[in-house]
Each structure stands twice: as structure tokens, then as C-alpha cells.
Chains A and B, each alone.
Chain A
């Protein structure tokens, strides 16, 4: 059997990559590493000048800004020292180099073993089927969401093709508890709940932790859904026929679906919005999920972080005396204490 390219580089390739002493990041080639070091570790925070080494930066700070450099920026806590002169891969102490290589080798083999576990393939060289047991697939919320979106697209297509009679799958369960901000109560023990992985249904692992009763603000006791709550639903969302009827919600269908939402979701939106008036944030989250929008929290945060970073660069300034129109002396001169009244 010839060696297949899997996109997983050999350990030698990884070991050959140049890496940064200060932050342990590795790079395609030495040039990139050096430009990284100049930009991240040897850049003057006063004027932006990029020096070649920490020593160079220290001299620069001393001479140009009359300040002394005490540590290397953006470095790992134990690598901030100025005593070691690093340029690219030059100057990295032997023991640190060994440590790094050891870590790479360990990581490589761990990753390889994991890959083998996932695929169920025996490691190369080992023939026979006695490989480690296949790893159980665990879906992340993103994966689930993706699958859900696919499913919904399918359903929508089905609906478009087969008329409106086909019942809709209510995809409310893509708000998994892993979402953090979710105000959902933890699953209630003893609740009659179909076991996950019902035959024929694709597994929705997130659903097992999802409360069966849809909470409206103050969550009702389990098993006693309020009038507008969604009825308990089997977690296997794959079979639309298994869904309970939802006639009580149909009167809401008169309202136009909010713009931007997939047409297929309109009734669901309506029912949720009418059902969860009290829990606005929940409502919002669900609508977002319905619309296939990723939770707003994280990307927004990321964007915020980026902005902050940029601001850092142009250094927010606060002027101690910020009145551009009037001088401080004029203000002082208006004080009763200083005001001049001409002697008559």
C-alpha cells in the first residue's frame, strides 16, 4: 500500500518548522518567523519601530524614548527575559529547543493516535483489525446546527414541493445547553423522555440535555406545560410525522413572518414569539437560531476585541485640559477672585 497524502504532515516536517521562542508559534519559513518577531515582540510601543532583537529594542527605547525595556511584549510568562538574544531561531537555548521538540513529538503522536481512533484504521505498519475501538462521535453545537440547517433546507424543499400540508419540524432544540448564556433549566430527572438514539432517527445529542418543556420566563414545573408551550417532543427530529399536532398555534399564521427569516420558519416564529412573550432573550435566541444566524454573542465579542486591539495601537488619549476654544487663563480671569472691575 502506497502512502496516502492525508494532509497530515510527517513529524519531521513539523519539527523542521521554524518557531518563535517567545510565543511557541511555528511558521512556514524563517522569513515569516522573523517578521512575526519584529511585529509582535520587538516592536516599539512608542513609535512602532520594528527592531531585529530584544536587545536592539532595549537600546532603541533607551536612546529614543529615554525609557528602559523590562520585558519582551506578547511573550509567554517565562520567556519575557531580555537576557537571551533571539533572532529567528538563533539564540534559542538548547534545553528549550529540546523541550519544544519533545512537545511537538508528543503532540504529533497523540494527534495521530486520535486520528486512528476516529477512523478506526490501524496505525500504519500494524496489520490486522485489532485497532483501538472506534471513537464515539460527539457533535459540537456548531456541527449540530449545521446538520439542522441542512435538515431544515430539506424540509423546506419538501414543503415547497409537496405543498403546505407537510408538518414542520420544530428546530427549537438547537439551543443546546452548551451555549452558555442559555437560561434553560437542567434536564429534570424522572421525566418521561424517550431515550436518545431512537431507532431510525439521527442522533441529536444536544437534545438529551434540553428541557422538554419550553420555558416561558419563570419556568413551569416540568410536565405541566403552559398553554402556549411546545409539547414535549421526541428528540429524534428526523421523522416529521412523529411530531405532535400543533393546531392551537395556527391562528398566529396570519401575522407576516419577520423579514429575513426563512419562509419555512414563519409559523414557528409566530408560535414561539407568542408563546415566549415573557422570555424575550430566549425568544431572541431562538429566532436567531431559526434564521440560521449564529449566536450573536461570540462573533460580536470577537469584533469588539479586534477593535480594542486597533484602539490600542492609536492610543486613546485623554486631554487634561480639553477646551479648545478658551484658554485656562481666561477662565481663571473670570473668577470673582481675579475679576477686574475698573475703578470708577
Chain B
């Protein structure tokens, strides 16, 4: 939310970050970008960024030290790709989309293999490990979540959900599934076929995104009504739950335009997180201090997806049309690109003494 006087404030108090250092990724997808994922393997010196797009392709770029990206491999689906995730060792990429299947792309061979099948488009795919065994979990608009072990064409397990799956996130043993009609299901991946907890989203509007804390103690929920909720899994922590407004315009007269929170990404080291919205801005927050660390000016188009690299030194965000304004909002001139924001040390660090200030 670039406030009316945002630019003036920026120079004074440093709460508005700048985007001057951001680097645009060369040869981006030809259509809206649906998801981004960085290689999570900490031992890999290189950074790889996987980009899923509505142009039916998954592209994997190698991010060079100068910030430039270089196309490495790409994989074609039969329909728009809606979700992408890396294997833990960074050797393979999982992708899923409207063609109702999920595929694994081997970065070394460049070969793709189908590993999952649903009855409706797969909205979300995530990699996880069950007792050291690599697995994939897929969530689909057919109202199911399925687990796959890459060996069998049949799912290793199925979870029937109340509604269409809109978003999922995994961290360690925590799987959070957000569906239509504001259901939030929490699954302990040690018992993957039953819901550890089912709740209605604390937000009153459609769930757009869920994202687990780095310590997997809870998760953040973003809704289409410019609001985020911080939710802890265990009831004992429920006093720490809260929600806050974000991604809203400064009021014009007596109306405020409210935008969807499109993505939430947690910083792998600091545990702070970013929100990015349909309004074309992203912000860094500290949930423990309940403080906004940094806001950024409008990037010129809706931000559809964000992610941090493994060390948290790069914040990647995708600018493309998210259909939030229907047909009217679309146009051939709408930006469609991925930007890499170098994260400065102070941008995402939580404040040492939140109470003091």
C-alpha cells in the first residue's frame, strides 16, 4: 500500500522500500504466471527458480550471481500449470495444472513424467517426505487431496475435502489445506489420511492462500478481502492468533478498494513473511511484533505469486494478471514478468525489541 504520502515518508523513516535493485527475469512466460518455487536444497550453491504459467509451461531458470536468470529446462503440460514445487534435494520439480495431472520434471535429464491424476484441475502440488520417502501431495478442484509415492499410478492415500481445494502448504509434518467456502484443514503428515483439525477460516471471505510458518507451529491465511490471519495449530497458542488488514487503497471519499492477498511467503531464516496482492504491492511483516517491516510501491500489476530462495537473500515475485477484475482488467499491455528483489539484511529482520518502540 503505497500511501498517498508514501514517497515522502520513504526518505524519512525508511518504511517504504525501493525496487531499484530489482532485476527482471529474462525470457519470461508468455502468459500469466501462476506459481513460483526456488530450489530449497541448502547445499546447492546455485539458485534455481521454477515458474509455472498459464501458457501451459513450467520453466526452470538458473539465477546467476549477477541476478540475471538463465533458462535451463522447461516442461510442457496440456493445460495451464497452476502450481509448482521443488524436490527437497533440488533435483526435480513437481508441477500440476488444469490438465488434471501432476508431473515430475528431472532437471538433469529434462524429462517429465506424470505422477498424479485427479478428476478435475489440480490447483496445488507440494513435495514432502514421509519417513524419508519422497512423496507428493496434490489438491484439486475435485474436492480431494491425494498422496503419491511416484511408484504407483494409484494414490497412496486420499483425503476427501468439504470443497474444492484452493491452496495448500507443507512444512515439515504440517499440511494445511484451504478450500472454497472457507474451510481450513490441518493435517499431520504422520497420519496423512485424517484431518488433524478442521476449522472455518477466521476470515470472512474466500481463502486465497495459506502458508505455513517456518517453525510449522502455525500458518498464515490470506483472503480475497485484503486481510491476513495468523493462526496457530495448537489451541494453547490460540491467544496468539490475530488477523490484520492489508492490500487496500487509501480511502477515496468514503470507499476503500480492497484487493485479494494473492500470496504469502515466509522468510526461511527470519520467520518473517511477505504478503503480495492484487493491488500490485508486497510487504514484509513480523507476525510476532505484529509489525509491518517494509512496504513497497506499486509494481505496475497484480502480484500473483512470491517466494524466497533458500537463504532468503532473493525475493522473487511474479507480476501478471490474476483475473481479479474479470475480462475488463485484462489487456495485451498487462505486464507479465518475474522480478527478483535482492533482500537487504534489514528488510526482513524482525525488530529486536518490538515492545520498546
A interface residues (Cβ-Cβ under 8 A, vs B): 62-63, 65-68, 70, 308, 311-312, 315-333, 338-340, 342-343
Contact = CB atoms under 8 A, between A and B. Distances in A.
B121 A318 contact: no
B254 interface: yes
Contacts of B125: none
Given A321-B260, A338-B80, A315 B254 contact: yes
Interface in B215-237: 224-226
Contacts of A342: 100
A262 B192 CA distance: 77
A68 B8 contact: yes
A325 B180 contact: yes
A320 B180 contact: no
Interface stretch (B154-162, B322-330, B335-343): B322-330
B208 A315 contact: no
A332 B254 CA distance: 31
CB-CB nearest 4 A-B residue pairs: A340-B79, A328-B323, A321-B324, A66-B15
Nearest to A322: B224
A67 B5 contact: yes
B255 A318 contact: yes
A319 B206 CA distance: 12
A59 to B, nearest CB: 10
B13 A62 contact: yes
B194 interface: no
Contacts of A330: 141, 164
Scoring A311, A321, A328, A338 by chain B CB atoms within 10 A of each residue's CB, the highest score goes to A321
A236 to B, nearest CB: 51
B124 to A, nearest CB: 10
A226 B225 CA distance: 63
B129 interface: no
B346 to A, nearest CB: 15
Given A67-B4, A68-B12, A324 B54 contact: no
Contacts of B205: 319, 324
A110 to B, nearest CB: 39
B23 to A, nearest CB: 25
Nearest to A338: B80
B255 A328 contact: no
Contacts of A323: 206, 224
Given A67-B9, A316-B254, A317-B256, A338 B79 contact: yes
A321 B79 contact: no
11 contacts: A63-B357, A67-B6, A317-B225, A320-B260, A323-B206, A325-B206, A327-B180, A333-B80, A333-B98, A340-B80, A343-B78
Given A68-B12, A315-B254, A338-B80, A320 B99 contact: no
Interface in B291-331: 292, 295, 322-326
Grouping DSSP codes into helix (H, G, I), strand (E, B) and loop, the B interface class, with mixed when no group exceeds half, is loop
Given A317-B255, A320-B324, A325-B180, A332 B260 contact: no
B296 to A, nearest CB: 11
B185 interface: no
Contacts of A70: 5
B1 to A, nearest CB: 8
A312 B323 CA distance: 30
B5 A338 contact: no
B258 to A, nearest CB: 5
B302 to A, nearest CB: 9
Contact of B248 (A66, A308, A317, A332): A317
Nearest to B283: A66
B323 A329 contact: yes
B278 interface: yes
B300 to A, nearest CB: 16
A84 B95 CA distance: 60
B204 to A, nearest CB: 9
B110 interface: no
Contact of A312 (B99, B225, B254, B295): B254
Contacts of A67: 3-6, 9
A311 B251 CA distance: 12
Contacts of A311: 254
A62 B292 CA distance: 11
A325 B98 CA distance: 19
B224 A321 contact: yes
A66 B295 contact: yes
A319 B326 CA distance: 13
A325 B180 CA distance: 7
A315 B257 CA distance: 10
A311 B9 CA distance: 28
Contact of A329 (B3, B34, B257, B279): B34
B259 interface: yes
A297 to B, nearest CB: 23
A319 B224 contact: yes
B126 interface: no
A319 B258 contact: yes
A337 to B, nearest CB: 8
Given A332-B323, A342-B100, 4 more contacts: A70-B5, A319-B224, A320-B260, A340-B80
B16 to A, nearest CB: 7
Contacts of B96: none
A328 B324 contact: yes
B317 to A, nearest CB: 18
A317 to B, nearest CB: 5
A324 B258 contact: no
B123 interface: yes
A172 B80 CA distance: 75
B166 interface: yes
B357 A318 contact: no
